[in-house]
Amino acid sequence: MAWLIIKYLLTAGVVVLVSEFAKRSDKLGGLIAALPLVTLLALIWLYLEKQPMDKIANHARYTFWYVIPTLPMFLVFPALLPRFGFWLSLVFSVLITVLCFAAFALVLRRFDIHLL
């Protein structure tokens, strides 16, 4: 139980750290947010919990493929924000990300990479 609490606190701490840096500097906050900190923590947790190496490798591999269709959101959201406000822009961005992911998964399937 203590291990689970430590994992939650460290992982939550990363999110808080990013938001605190973002309050002080847009560029620094964006840089830190762009780092794969959550993925690195997940890989560390999997390793420390003695998961098989192929499971850890698969996690990293699938993370790569899942990141690509999320990238348009980071261009769409700031473009929509002044026009639609925060919440509606966020909803539209998430919907666009889902559509990009579905299209990307279909394209990758032709190369025998199955994301779903």
**What pLDDT sits at residue 53?**
98
pLDDT surpasses 90 at 79: yes
**What pLDDT sits at residue 32?**
83
* Cα 60–Cα 45–Cα 16 angle in degrees, nearest 5: 95
| pLDDT tens by residue, 36-59 | 888 898 899 999 999 999 999 999
Report pTM.
0.75
Cα separation, 37 vs 32, whole angstroms: 8
Selection from 52, 31, 34 nearest residue 43 by Cα: 52
Question: Would you give the distance in Å from CA 108 to the centre of its chain?
Answer: 19
Residue 31's pLDDT band (cuts 50, 70, 90): confident
Q: How far apart are the first and last CA of the chain?
A: 32
Q: Are 33 and 26 in contact (CB under 8 A)?
A: no
35 vs 59, more confident: 59
